[in-house]
Amino acid sequence: MKKILAINCGSTSTKVAYFEDDKMVSKVSLNITAEELKKMPKVLDQLEYRTNQVKQFLEENKLNPAEFDIIVTRAGTLPHVPVAGAYEVNELMIATLIYAPEAQHACTLSCLIAKRLVEGLDIPVIVYDPECVDSADEIAKITGIPEITNMPLVHLLNTKAAGIEYAKSVGKDYKDLNLIIAHLGGGITLGFHDHGRVADWVYDDEGPMSPQRAGAIPTRYMANFCYDWFKNGKTLKELRMYLCGQSGMVAYLGTQDVREVEKMIDEGDKKAELILKAMAYGVAKSIGQLAVIRNGKVDQIIITGGIAYSERITNWIKEKVSFIAPVTIIPGEKEMEALAWGALRVLNKEEEVHSYNVFPKGYKSIEEIINNPNCLA
């Protein structure tokens, strides 16, 4: 029997699950309130707090890290890797996530917490199916600025798991279908899964706003916003943290919890209804945007993630996109199962663990990364 611990840090919670072989024995979502997050605005500020939460979970469930066969985590904001699957959490990956992450996101903490748990122990730690797998069409990466190449990012773990679940439910193989899959969480991303390959995508900074993110902002406004931001003495780090943690729904309504917003709507708050509907509207527009990349050949639209539990939001989206393809709602997420099942395949020698060897752009050594004066974490 293989003992597997899975860790997945999201914007507002740390999900932890313990598996014995492919069976989930226990699972918890360790939430962090908006008030607590305000005290820890930088991602790394949260490391100690979240690590202690995980340790408490292990103690309460009488789980000893020394007895684990492997710990598998969600990958952080890393540079792009060529293939999906398992990657060893090594010194280069840790240095990159601490000193030169690609973006501000709590997922960065997942493997850092795991390494703390096994400090002094000979327990392997891996990440599985990173969000930064580059399988996209080359045409999708072209922008209007030659110096900027748009590289794919998507919630691969959950969207791929949802795609596999849907395919099984209709007696088909995930790799035989064209699927548009939208992940609705603290961040919202969408991907066009072309026979198992994410051919194009909409990341959470280029599509709809989300509970914590601004989404796409017209450049004619964004240029002035950035100019005023820096003119007032604020920094690039502060701007990134605002765009990826303090904007979107929470900036309008003071909460990142969709359930609270729905309660506000039920009590007659018209502004809350407009903002929530605008978020759903943006998701629908992004689905329409992706529908064209294979000339409208879409077998199914799938809406997943925590926000997909809201029938109000999913109905708003379905009203606008059902003409493209049928819509299936798979609320919640199967990221923990996807992580554990990947780790089990590694332990059973069905998959290899890739060596992580991708340096951030502009760096050639770990020492250069550690001495990075523009650390974003």
CATH of the domain at 183: 3.30.420.40
Q: Is residue 96 one of the residues assigned to a domain?
A: yes
Nearest CA to 238 out of 359, 134, 333, 376 is that of 376
Judge if 189 and 77 occupy the same domain.
no
Judge if 118 and 229 occupy the same domain.
no
Helix axes 311-321, 258-266, angle to 10 degrees: 90
Judge if 353 and 304 occupy the same domain.
no
- The 10 Å Cβ neighbour count of residue 329 is 17
Question: What DSSP letter does each residue of 323-344 carry, written as one string?
Answer: TTS-EEEEEB--HHHHHHHHHH
Q: Is residue 235 one of the residues assigned to a domain?
A: yes
Judge if 24 and 107 occupy the same domain.
yes
Judge if 258 and 270 occupy the same domain.
yes
Question: What are the b/e assignments for 198-226, b being 16+ CB within 10 Å?
Answer: bbbbbbbbbbbbbbbbbbbbeeeeeeeee
Judge if 197 and 321 occupy the same domain.
yes
Give the position of tokens 């007659």. 268
Q: Is residue 377 one of the residues assigned to a domain?
A: no
Judge if 115 and 170 occupy the same domain.
no
* pLDDT attached to residue 36: 84
Judge if 149 and 278 occupy the same domain.
yes
Cα–Cα dist 75/131, whole Å: 7
Judge if 85 and 99 occupy the same domain.
yes
Judge if 317 and 365 occupy the same domain.
no
* pLDDT attached to residue 373: 58
Strand order, beta sheet including 188-194:
197-202, 188-194, 178-184, 300-305, 327-331
Give the position of tokens 């964004």. 222
* pLDDT attached to residue 19: 98
Q: Is residue 339 one of the residues assigned to a domain?
A: yes
Q: Is residue 362 one of the residues assigned to a domain?
A: yes
Q: Is residue 280 one of the residues assigned to a domain?
A: yes
Q: How many domains does the chain have?
A: 2
Query: Using a CB cutoff of 8 Å and minimum separation of 24, what contacts does 263-272 make?
Result: 265/312
Which amino acid is it at 186? G
* pLDDT attached to residue 76: 85
Question: What are the b/e assignments for 284-312, b being 16+ CB within 10 Å?
Answer: bebbebbbebeeeebbbbbbbbbbbebee
Judge if 158 and 245 occupy the same domain.
yes
pLDDT, mean over the chain: 93
Structural tokens at position 69? 């066969």
Nearest CA to 18 out of 7, 34, 29 is that of 7
* pLDDT attached to residue 374: 60
Judge if 125 and 199 occupy the same domain.
no
Q: Is residue 230 one of the residues assigned to a domain?
A: yes
Longest alpha-carbon distance in the chain? 59
Across the chain, the runs of DSSP E, i.e. the strands, are: 3-9, 13-20, 23-31, 70-73, 86-88, 125-128, 178-184, 188-194, 197-202, 300-305, 327-331, 353-354
Cα–Cα dist 103/54, whole Å: 24
Cα–Cα dist 128/88, whole Å: 9
Q: Would you give per-residue pLDDT tens digits along the chain (377 residues)?
A: 999 999 999 878 899 999 999 999 999 999 888 788 888 888 889 999 999 999 999 999 999 999 999 999 999 889 999 888 899 999 999 999 999 888 778 899 999 999 999 999 999 999 999 988 898 999 999 999 999 999 988 888 889 889 989 999 999 999 999 999 999 998 899 999 999 899 999 999 999 999 999 999 999 999 999 999 999 999 998 998 899 889 999 999 999 999 999 999 999 999 999 999 999 999 999 999 999 999 999 999 999 999 999 999 999 999 999 999 999 999 998 889 999 999 999 999 999 999 999 998 889 899 988 887 565 55
Q: Is residue 376 one of the residues assigned to a domain?
A: no
Nearest CA to 112 out of 36, 68, 54 is that of 54
Cα–Cα dist 213/240, whole Å: 10
Q: CB-hemisphere CA count at 13 Å for 353?
A: 19
The total number of residues shown for the chain amounts to: 377
Q: Do residues 132 and 152 touch, judged by C-beta distance below 8 A? A: yes
* pLDDT attached to residue 155: 86
Q: Do residues 175 and 185 touch, judged by C-beta distance below 8 A? A: no
Write down the pTM of the prediction. Answer: 0.80
In which domain, by residue range, is 285 found?
142-331
